[in-house]
Amino acid sequence: MNNCFYPAIFHNAEEGGFWITFPDFPEIITQGDTTEEAYKMASDALGLCIDEKLKCGEELPAASSINDCVKEPGSFPCLIEFDLMQYRRTHNTKSVKKTLSIPEWLNEAAVAQNINFSQVLQDALLHKIGML
């Protein structure tokens, strides 16, 4: 799962702007002053919730149909796109130390060329998982 779409309900706030809920994630409530800010906040809140559920081994709910969303006066449904890999690249930036072994001759050749081992490993892993 890399990209997914979940419906959100944008409610007009009395003081202006919007507050947003998700039919499939009742624990998410967020807000924004403009439509653009509200969409970004909804996407961020959805990402935080999905990432946490996946880390805890929980299954994600199936996305409701936007046509089934309750339409109340002063509200409208909107599909929110979420890209898991992009979210993790942006928010999960903590470095993890890895120990590996390579032949001595390869190490010497790479050191002689001032090759950054961490960058080479990251590039190779991105290529291997199809992200490069």
Mean pLDDT to the nearest integer, 14-22: 95
pTM metric for this prediction: 0.73
Task: Encode pLDDT of 78-115 as tens digits.
Answer: 999 988 888 888 877 788 888 989 999 999 999 999 99
Dihedral sign of CA atoms 103, 105, 109, 112 in order: positive
Return d(Cα 91, Cα 107) in angstroms, integer. Answer: 32
Please indicate whether residue 71 or residue 22 has the higher confidence score (pLDDT): 22
| pLDDT over 70 at 1, yes or no | no
pLDDT at 39: 96
CATH number of 3-91: 3.30.160.250
In the chain, residues under CATH classification 3.30.160.250 are: 3-91
